[in-house]
Chain A
Amino acid sequence: MKKLSKLYTALIIFFMYMPIIVLVIFSFNDGKTTVWKGFTLKWYADLFRDSQIMSALWNTLLVAVLASAIATVIGTMAAIGINNFSGKKRLLLQNMSNISILSPDVVTGVSLMLMFTIAGVAFHFQMGFWTVLLAHITFCTPFVVLSVLPRIRHMDYSLYEAALDLGCNQWQAFRKVVVHELMPGIFTGFLMSFTYSLDDFVITYFTRGASFQTLSIQIYTMTHQRISPKINALSALMFVVIIVLMVIINVKDRKAEKRMGE
């Protein structure tokens, strides 16, 4: 790498990490302001004692796992079906799918809220866990479709025919051969769904009703009070978890790549 490129890259990385690092540093600050008052771990202790945060964390994970799993199933099936449509119909379905990715979160959020409110009056239910889950599946599925479709298009169709030829019915051929071929796309779709669901604030905010809490909502409530070093501790923990996850995924990928390369 040339010097200039190195400097530029370093600057970008500095810009992207500096705020996070500062948060992490202040998470150990024994004081409520940004003036350094000495090292402490009390904010971390507070964080784990905060039952609200812990239940919000549990809710977030539950929604993310369920939403991404359901979205992966629906989305994979949809991608297969869409691929078998031809011409204008396929284009229409793909565009429908893409529009829901591109439409602003705020609009998705308020429109779903509107529908859930009306449906709630009609069928006597309140917004909460279930509406959040439905909303999350709604915005996750298009990502699965988006990542599985190209895999299907590039799949060697004769592999499927070979499975049929060797005695599989359609479902067996799908389960034993096609799924393996689509796996990288399905996995990417799942991962994208999972992270978007974890990270989502806007859509959850509009569809959660009065009492359902997720981590994002909890952070929102806390940050509204502006000064709360517990948030710093939470940020630091999340940062560490993310780094660990990313390293694991990357190492796995690298190994898989090596295997393929041999």
Chain B
Amino acid sequence: MRLRRPSIPYIIWMVVFTLVPIVLILFYALTDRSGSFSVEAFTKAVGYSDVFLRSIWIAFISTLICLVIAYPMGYIMSRQKRSVQNFLTMIIMIPMWMNFLLRIYAWVTLLQNRGPIDTMLSIFGIHTQLIGNQGAVILGMVYEYLPFMILPLYTVMSKIDTRLIEAAGDLGANKFGVMRKVVFPLSIPGIISGITMVFVPTASTFLVAQYLGGTNDIMIGDVIDKIFWSDHNTGSAIALILMVAILIFLVILNFFGDEEAIAA
């Protein structure tokens, strides 16, 4: 009665299209062009450590900004009437459905020299380079991934019973106290999934930096894109390092999550 067979196609699929490719990456990362064992690829990959650090830095800052902006939004949404909640969810989701490239392109249009914002600023006599710097890259990232932070936060917070918040108020907690003692601890799972959903893609994305950043702002995803076509080995090594780094990050994050859940 307890059927397990239906999962066989998927298991085979995962082995062929997920496991085998990863093993291939591993194989290429540990060999050289001739196919014999070598750590040369890793040595070359280490040469990109500055790009690695920059990617992590940009991802970290973007995730933090997303969290700070999204947290109040998620809370505000979660305290509305059901119909308003649904409406706001839809509003937040619509831009997500726009093509990823079009959304960055929109910012390219907005920020370019003699673009709308530049023109407006120049009326007030301000002339700055809006595009082609790290700030623009972070802005692009925040824009891309903000909904991925708002939605999980909202989902978790909407499950917090309003009566719980009222009870905390009744027991003498002020607004800040209610936030710190009730809302925050209960929203931790949302924070964790929000961080996961924003940090992983920002750390590994490519193109955003190519579009909005300068030559010194390229990120690790862009490096993989550039190198892989010509040098499978180094490309594989970088991809492997990126994947392992992200997995370690996720494990640590989830570990914290579990600890918090036990403490609560």
Contacts and interface: CB of A to CB of B under 8 A. Distances in A.
A23 B102 CA distance: 9
Secondary structure class of chain B's binding surface, majority of residues: helix
A103 B243 contact: yes
A77 interface: yes
B72 interface: yes
A162 interface: no
Nearest to B225: A106
A105 interface: yes
B14 A246 contact: no
B110 A242 contact: no
Contact of A19 (B20, B22, B143): B143
A77 B6 CA distance: 5
A81 B3 contact: yes
Output the residue of A104, A105, A145, A231 with the most chain B CB within 10 A: A104
B56 interface: no
Nearest to B102: A235
B97 A216 contact: no
Nearest to B220: A106
A132 to B, nearest CB: 13
A110 B108 CA distance: 27
A22 B73 CA distance: 24
Given A8-B76, A9-B76, A23-B102, A110 B97 contact: no
A102 B221 contact: no
Interface in B211-225: 211, 221, 224-225
Interface stretch (A39-47, A121-129, A180-188, A218-226): A218-226
Given A104-B221, A107-B204, A216 B106 contact: no
B6 A234 contact: no
Contacts of A34: 109, 112, 114-116, 119
A35 B114 contact: yes
B24 A239 contact: no
B7 A80 contact: yes
Contact of B13 (A141, A220, A232): A141
Contacts of A108: 21
Nearest to B114: A34
Interface in B199-215: 200-201, 203-207, 211
Contact of B204 (A20, A99, A105, A226): A105
Contacts of B201: 104-105
Output the residue of A18, A20, A106, A115 with the most chain B CB within 10 A: A106
A23 B101 CA distance: 13
B4 A84 contact: yes
Contacts of A234: 102
A85 B3 CA distance: 9
B11 interface: yes
Given A8-B76, A104-B204, A216-B101, A19 B107 contact: yes
A17 B95 contact: yes
Interface of B: 1-11, 13-14, 17-18, 20-22, 24-25, 28, 69, 72-73, 76-77, 80, 84, 86, 88, 90-95, 97-110, 112, 114-116, 119, 143, 146-147, 150, 196, 200-201, 203-207, 211, 221, 224-225, 228, 232, 235-236, 239, 242-243, 246-247, 250
Given A78-B6, A103-B247, A115-B21, 9 more contacts: A13-B91, A74-B10, A81-B8, A99-B247, A102-B247, A170-B1, A226-B108, A231-B102, A246-B93
